A and B are shown apart, each in its own frame.
Chain A
Amino acid sequence: ILNVEQSPQSLHVQEGDSTNFTCSFPSSNFYALHWYRWETAKSPEALFVMTLNGDEKKKGRISATLNTKEGYSYLYIKGSQPEDSATYLCALNNNAGNMLTFGGGTRLMVKP
């Protein structure tokens, strides 16, 4: 059974603050790491799919890095806005299919 861990569980920041969260996973049998944003009453929204060690991806104010050798990924949000408030999930894909093992998520609340 894979163990994907995310920290912190929740985070309260002020508008304009930059923040980051961590996703840790077993470094063996790695295939891909996914980041999702999940807003209340909506579907989880795909942010990034990362496959290569050292990968860095960026989408607007959000970026992510990946270290497969040590088994972690960081998600960064620069200049947080209230609309960034959501749960951020990482998920590990360890085979060629589409089975994802999710972490518990980091719930971000951005205060105006």
Chain B
Amino acid sequence: KAGVTQTPRYLIKTRGQQVTLSCSPISGHRSVSWYQQTPGQGLQFLFEYFSETQRNKGNFPGRFSGRQFSNSRSEMNVSTLELGDSALYLCASSGTGGRGAFFGQGTRLTVV
């Protein structure tokens, strides 16, 4: 079974630009969550999508948004990038059965 796939792996953007990150969950998983990891903050929850609907949302500004498609793939968008958005963005997929969340390798975003 293929794992969680995130693309791209690395990205460099300029302040003010926008960026879209993609996550393909494990086949059969309907829940996709996004996390941001920065050196000082650890892993912070952004949002969770389940069956194309946002089910939970963290404390991030409205510049951070996401969506989920009917095949459970999810995208995360950050508009008007700031230097502080430089981080590792991790996606996690979850199925039923309480086995927890399975993470992708992340997208490393650098804003210059």
Give bound CA distance, A36 to B100, whole Å.
10
**B107 close to chain A: CB less than 8 A:** no
Interface size for chain B: under 10, 10 to 19, 20 to 34, or 35 or more residues?
A: 20 to 34
Across chains A and B, the number of contacting residue pairs, with CB separation under 8 Å, is 64
Secondary structure of the B side of the interface?
strand
Q: Which of A49, A99, A105 contacts B58 (CB under 8 A)?
A: A99
B16 within 8 A of A: no
B21 to chain A, nearest CB (A): 15
Q: Which residues of B contact A102 (CB under 8 A)?
A: 35, 42-45
Q: Does A53 contact B (CB under 8 A)?
A: no
Contacts of B106 in A (CB 8 A): 43
Does chain A have a CB within 8 A of B66?
Answer: no
A residues whose Cβ falls under 8 Å from a Cβ of B: 1, 32, 34, 36, 42-46, 49, 51, 89, 91, 95, 97-105
